[in-house]
Structures are given as C-alpha cells and as structure tokens.
Amino acid sequence: MMKEATDIPELPDVFTPPPAVVTTPCDPWPRPYYLEDDLRKVYPYHYTYNTYCKERWRGRELLDIFATEFRDRPAEYYKDAIECGKVVINGQAVASVHAVVKNGDVISHTLHRHEPPVTAQPIGIVHEDNDMIVINKPAGVPVHPAGRYNYNSIVEIMRAERGYQWNPLPCNRLDRLTSGVMFIGKHAKAAEKLSVQIQERNVKKEYIARVIGEFPEEDIVCDQPIMQISPKLGLNRARASGKDARTLFKRLAYYPSRRRNIGDAPPPEDTRTEKEKLRDSHRPWKAKSGYSIVRCLPLTGRTHQLRVHLQYLGHPIANDPIYCNQRVFGPSLAAGDASSSADEDIISRLSKMGKSEVAEAMAYHDEMMEDYNKKKAEKMTGELCDVCQTPLYSDPGVHELGIYLHAKRYACADGKWAYETGLPAWALPPEGVEGPWEVVEKEDLAGLAEKVQELELGDEGHFGGKKGELAKGIKDSRMGSSKVLWVMPG
C-alpha cells in the first residue's frame, strides 16, 4: 500500500558550511616595528578579522553589532565599511547595513589596521634554560594579540627577536597594564607542566602596588567575594554573591604628600587655583595624603582581584584607569561598597566614556607626576589616515602605558624554585626621601598567608566570625609574639 505524503518523515535540517573566506595576506617579516619617543610603534597594514557569529549576535542587524560591540571606531565608519564591502558575511557583500546575522555565519572585516604604540622598554630576562624563559614583562604590553593589539604583544615581540619559527608559549597571564614575572615555555611539555602548577595553586605569588593614601601598618586580609558585573567591559566588583576571593596585604612604605607639613618644616606653598581647590573639596580621596607601596599576596586567582580588593579597602591603585576613576565610581571611589544598587549606572558611565575621558577622569592626586603626564592622554588628533581616512590618535601618555601593579615574585610551593625581580621604578623612594629600595625583610609572607588560610571561618564566611570583627590573633613567628590581622568589614 502506497504511503500518503504526510507519512513521509521530514528530513532534519542540514548545516551548510559557509564558503571559504578570503583573508587578506598579511604576515610581514620582519615585523613592521619602529621606535620613536620611547615607544614601540607598528606601521599600519591591511588585515582581515574573521569571526563566527556569537550567540548574542544571532538575529541582530550587522551595523548594530559593530556599532555596539566594537567601540574603537564610530558607527559612521562601520556603516561605510559595510556599504563598501569591507565588512562581509560568508565572504559575500550584503545588501544593506540592516542584514541580519544568523548562527553559523562568518563575519569578515578587512581594514587598514592601526596598532596602538607600547613602551619601547625591552622584555627583561630573569632566567632562561632549555625548557622555559622567565621574563620581566613591561607594563602596557598585552601577552597575546587581542583587540587593537597584534604585533605589539609579548608573543609577537619575542617571536620577532628570536625567529619566525619560534613559538613562545605563555604559562601564566598578566593583564596588559600589569608588569612583572611571566613564564614562557619553549616547548609544549614544559609549558603544560608549569601551567598545571599555577592552575592548581601550587605557586605562591607576590605583587607590589602603589596605592593612594596611607595604607594601614597592620597586615590586612580582604576576603570580599568578587563578581564580574560586565563581561563586555571586563568590570568586576566586590559582591557577597560573587566567587570567593582572599588577599593578604602588607605595607612596605608610605610617602607623605609634598603638601604635608613634616616636623618643624614650614608647609609647602599650595599652588592650586581656586577652581582646583573647589574641585578637590568634592573628592574625598584627596584627603588621603601621599601614597603607599604595598605588598600583595593573592590567595585566590580572580580577575582583577588585587585591583578590586584595594579599591574596596579605600586605597585603589593610584593610576588605575578603571577602579580609581571618579567619573565611573563617584567621589568615594566605591570604598567599602559591596552593594549592587549602583551597578547599572557604573556600567553605563564606563561604557559611554571615550579613551580621553577615561584617562582624564582618573584620580590624579599624585603631585609627583608632571603636569604634562597628568594632562596628556591618547586622544583624537583631528587628523585622518591618508590610506583609510581613519581618525588618528595621539601617542599615549606615560600614565596610560601601565598601572602601578607589578608581579614581583613567583615561587614553587615546595620550595624547589623561585624567581623575582627588583622593585619597579615607581615603587622606589622619591628623590631626597628615605625608603626601601628592595624588599629586605626575611619574613615569609607566603607562610603567613598559609596561617591565615588555617583560621577557622565564622558562620558568615568571614575571618573571625561576624562581619566587622577582628580576626583572631595568630602566632607571628617573625616577631615572636601574637599579632592581630585586621580584616576589612564586609
């Protein structure tokens, strides 16, 4: 008996692979670097970005995706690029900027690429053997090609120095703005072995930070959980509902403001204008005189952990463009704030800020920075590229090349190896002022941290029991007496 047409089962949808996408040939060798004004720069070059449609892009118009997701260029640029065929879907030009993107699409964008400059400071070599290289990463240089950075990355700079076929394998990650100890595997086996050690927390880390104000002399434990409140902006905040995070802090030095009267010396002349005095009266962090150099031991490894915890403690990193930014977090800079009530406003303010606004809104309280560096930021010059008509940025200021956060020491938990650098220049005593030029104490900060870990947690998950209480005294083997570790109230 013949089956009715309705009895024939429907065939499943078959995914048709997108057509091959033409990638603009671009792999110049040697790399197109040049050095100018203490910066490593890259001559502009043509490049094609290819990316599969992300889940959040499905069903959205092409122009809307570019205008909201890629903010380094204005929407007008992307509109023109789509209409001129510089932005295509599956290798084919689209009929209009309103073309809808669907799952499986490959979006390609060919452009004349302008990379931001980075510091010309060389990548320091702390140690090298047959398996790995331990480097002192300069601040402001990303580890991998990402975003606007490609050849101006640690991986590509090292490849340019050692040969085209050489493949550096980073084993730990540092933020672009952070400097310090990094491990580069020379082959996959060595890289995997060290990466596993770090991921399993078998490596002790110590960082150095320069923060606003007079940091307490006591050893400080901050155990505020951390939550990412904006994956797109990479913004994190202290949150009770976040992931567990714990950091031990110890002050290394404090340097008072030059405006502060020391001893019997007459107070220095206040050269601020009336407008500047009025401005400062609305900035509570201005009352935090001077700055401190702080040793930081992260006992967990959350993104931006040290930056978020220092902000929560009321002593953010002095030149942090995000967490020490009064236009984003308000006059208090979110000290002691673990609530979510202002999250939407904070995200909105940060997302709307351009590069120059971010730079200018930082809490510049440090009068030891020259006025030139306070004011200079990577801004639009008003000029256009002769090839692609892209608006050009000026060179970044010194303060934009990194933040005062340095990975000083990494050590194996069982004591088999340890690598460290000296103090960065910004952590050294100011000219004419006494202070430490290196960490000379024999104390084992990591050992102290282990004792902290052993403290019994209270019912609410904070050291010493209820929020706001002091942690129990622990035996301080360095001093031969019991010492209280203060914990920031939660």
**175 is annotated as an active-site residue:** yes
Which residues on adjacent β-strands are paired with residue 119? 39
Name the token pair of 442. Answer: 């024999």
Give the CA-trace dihedral at 302, 311, 403, 242, to 10 degrees. Answer: 20
Reference 406, options 425, 391, 389; nearest CA is 425
Q: Which helix (H) or strand (E) holds 75?
A: helix 75-83
C-alpha–C-alpha distance, residues 392 and 211, integer Å: 33
C-alpha–C-alpha distance, residues 208 and 295, integer Å: 5
Q: Is the Cα dihedral 379, 287, 311, 421 positive or negative? A: positive
Cβ atoms within 10 Å, residue 396: 20
DSSP character at residue 395: P
Q: Is the Cα dihedral 296, 302, 307, 311 positive or negative? A: negative
- What SS3 state is found at 278? helix
Reference 20, options 97, 108, 86; nearest CA is 108
Query: Cα–chain-centroid distance for residue 329?
Result: 17
Q: Are 323 and 311 in contact (CB under 8 A)?
A: yes
Name the token pair of 137. Answer: 């990463």
Q: Are 484 and 490 in contact (CB under 8 A)?
A: no
Buried b / exposed e over 285-314, threshold 16 CB at 10 Å, is bbebbbbbbbbbbbbeebebbbbbbbbbbb
Give 326's contacts (C-beta < 8 A, 6+ positions apart). Answer: 283, 285, 333, 361, 363
Q: Are 468 and 488 in contact (CB under 8 A)?
A: no
Of the residues 13, 80, 175, 345, which is catalytic? 175
DSSP character at residue 248: E
- Tally the residues of the chain: 490
277 CB-side CA count, 13 A: 5
Please give the positions annotated as active site.
Answer: 175
